[in-house]
A and B are shown apart, each in its own frame.
Chain A
Amino acid sequence: MNFFAILHHLADVDPDVLGRFDSRRAVFRSLGTATRRAALAATPLFVGALFQKAYAGTASTAADVLNYALTLELLEADFYAKFLAAGTLTGAASQAGTPLGAITKIKQHEDAHVHLLQTTLAALGAKAVSGVTFKASALPAAYAGQLQVAQLLEDTGVRAYKGRAAELLTTDLLTTALRIHSMEARHAAHIRTMRGQLPWINSTDDLANDPAYGSGVTAATSTVTPFGYGIPAYTAPSAPESNTRQAGLGTAVAIEITTLATPPYAPLDAAAAFDEALQPAEVLDAARAGKLVQA
């Protein structure tokens, strides 16, 4: 078995093959391609386990991840379009201190995110997902209900970005996604403030029991989506937002955050200080974003 030849042929169909095998992306990116292959061939790994680890549960490319992000941005953009059209927002479009102004500004950002992701996908030579709209019947009739959906959608979007950051193996694409994610977190914080809630996710929220802040799925999952791209296979429930344990560096054992001080930190603070991720199957589940997408 010629390990070199296997890698060479794999690279023809999967340009990310070299990146998948090692978490030290920065190191490998800095080496020339031939050197990287030589370094990989020298690593004392069983080839079977090597490929299984690299490809297990990952049926996606960078374009898939960006299209997933674009799906959520399209959903948000259309939701805000419907929210604005409902005529329930008071204030002035130019004054972000008013509800109408805030939602107008947020929608501007979502439109910009859609455009940015479409442009990035085009630069990759990939087809961008389109036609994703917010289910009209899922829009509540009154302002309070509409703003609730806005909060849940934004907080879910923030979790969704975190759930796939690790799959973007090039610095530029990851930077793009993380800078969008940062803005979505600001949106979420502001809408929560508009609703009289704390800007960070916490157990005293009036919507704390919504599935957006939990985890898990309500139906059997698939790696196929209705949007034309695949998603990684669902494994086990992600950490819910009430989680107070975080993985220790260099070890699989998680550290209970409250125990970092004596007397211990309050679980409320330990949980609020970290925003959790959601896997794609959880985001698209009918209990979360799945029920908001027009079929």
Chain B
Amino acid sequence: MTDMISAGARPVPAWPRRTFLRVSGAGAAALVLATGCSTPTPTPAADPHIIILQAGGQAGDVGVENYLYLLAQLQAAFYQAVLTTPPTDFTPADLGYFTDLRDHEVVHREFYKYALGTAALPTLPFTFASLTLTTRAGVLAGAQTFEELSTAAYAAILPAVSDATLQGLMLKIASVEARHAALLRDLLAPGSFAPNDAVDGNGQAVALAPAAVATALAPYLAPYTLSVANLPLT
């Protein structure tokens, strides 16, 4: 599938400062710059490494979309990294699954990018240096972490989406993320599709609020950090 490989291998542009101003709320940033230009002692500019999910537009829905877009970007980048240099103990079946997983996340990523239009975050650089990607076990553990994070993130944030059409679309994606998570659990330990840390006493999937998700994402976003302060929290 050369089309998929080329889409995933697109070079990642550096974070442009202009884009940071747009996504963070141009008003506040412009104020900082204006102050810096008119006073003799320049005010330090806002940290360009902070990704602020904006609240504007449709009562927070755009912020949620960018939040889920970021998760799709992360997963697509991870799967592409694995497929570019697969661990030597990967089986052909593993490669087949990971190709599909990558393809799904790329579709999710591009769908959100299309839906967001000019409000979309830029392509972010992720780092997987903290993971072991040279062994099957290490790769599966990493994949599991991301799919569980995504599944739990969807479970927490979906009810807060105000547009019914958008919520329905996100629900369709959330369903596939849950399937991904179950598969990755089973690949590492057959039968672990519903482990205790992913399901509660009511047989319900665990939900993870944006703040907890942002904390979990920190090692992979460094030196960038995610601010979810503007998201509608359930």
Contact = CB atoms under 8 A, between A and B. Distances in A.
Interface in A248-278: 248-249, 255, 257, 260-266, 269-270, 272-277
Interface stretch (A59-67, A131-139, A187-195): A187-195
Given A162-B172, A165-B168, A248 B203 contact: no
A27 B57 CA distance: 12
A246 B169 contact: yes
Given A175-B234, A200-B179, A269-B103, A27 B114 contact: no
A98 B159 contact: no
Contacts of A277: 168, 171-172
B163 A249 contact: yes
Contacts of B4: 265, 269
A87 B58 CA distance: 54
A162 B169 CA distance: 10
Interface stretch (B15-23, B45-53, B190-198, B213-221): B190-198
A178 interface: yes
Interface string B219-234: 0000000000000101
A175 B103 contact: no
Nearest to B115: A249
A112 B1 contact: no
Interface in A15-72: 23-27
A189 B183 contact: yes
A183 B179 CA distance: 9
B167 A273 contact: no
Interface string B103-120: 110111011001100000
Contacts of A264: 3
B201 interface: yes
A178 B191 contact: no
B9 interface: no
A248 B2 CA distance: 27
A155 to B, nearest CB: 10
A108 B203 contact: yes
A171 B165 CA distance: 16
Interface stretch (B33-41, B78-86, B128-136, B150-158): B150-158
Given A116-B203, A162-B168, A272 B191 contact: no
B100 interface: yes
A273 B104 contact: yes
B186 A190 contact: yes
Interface in B59-118: 59-60, 65, 100, 103-104, 106-108, 110-111, 114-115
Q: How large is the interface on B (under 10, 10 to 19, 20 to 34, 35 or more residues)?
A: 35 or more
Interface string B147-187: 00001001110111011111111011111101111110010
Contacts of A183: 178, 194, 199, 203-205
A121 interface: no
Given A186-B179, A273-B107, A102 B172 contact: no
B143 interface: no
A185 B202 contact: no
Contacts of A180: 203-205
A273 B175 contact: no
Contacts of A176: 204
Contact of B199 (A27, A109, A158, A188): A109
B107 A178 contact: no
A187 B154 CA distance: 18
A183 B223 CA distance: 34
Chain A to chain B: the 10 pairs with minimum beta-carbon distance, closest first: A97-B191, A112-B203, A96-B191, A182-B205, A109-B203, A275-B175, A185-B178, A179-B204, A189-B182, A189-B179
Given A112-B203, A260-B110, 9 more contacts: A23-B163, A116-B203, A176-B204, A182-B155, A183-B204, A186-B182, A186-B205, A248-B115, A255-B111
Interface of B: 1-4, 7, 58-60, 65, 100, 103-104, 106-108, 110-111, 114-115, 151, 154-156, 158-160, 162-169, 171-176, 178-183, 186, 189-194, 198-199, 201-207, 232, 234
Interface of A: 23-27, 95-98, 101-102, 105-106, 108-113, 115-116, 158, 162, 165-166, 171, 174-176, 178-183, 185-190, 193, 198-200, 246-249, 255, 257, 260-266, 269-270, 272-277
